[in-house]
Structure 1
Amino acid sequence: MDHPQVGRLELRYERLLLAGTDGQLLVVHHADPGSPSAQKPAQVAHTLST
């Protein structure tokens, strides 16, 4: 994924079936802990708070 403020993010994803629905999924993207991509969301949050 390319983010306009921090550049390239390498993310994994998990697909979770939502119980009680007709096949709906929740997809969660996440970076590996300690990876360069894991540091970048904090950079975005800092940019938004200033």
Structure 2
Amino acid sequence: MVTYASLGLLFLFVVIKALIYRSRVRKAPSPEQLSKLVFSILRSSGQRDRE
């Protein structure tokens, strides 16, 4: 009986972790978005250096 309870808890833990991982993957920016972000950061830091 204890074994079944332990397996049930382990199963729930795995399902929750899988759902968290899946939600993080969906929110991850695309490579194009990352490129635009890097270029905008570089441009803004370059402008600050000139001032």
With the length of structure 1 as denominator, give the TM-score of the two structures. 0.30
Name the one with the larger strand percent: 1
Structure number with greater Rg is 2
Name the one with the larger helix percent: 2
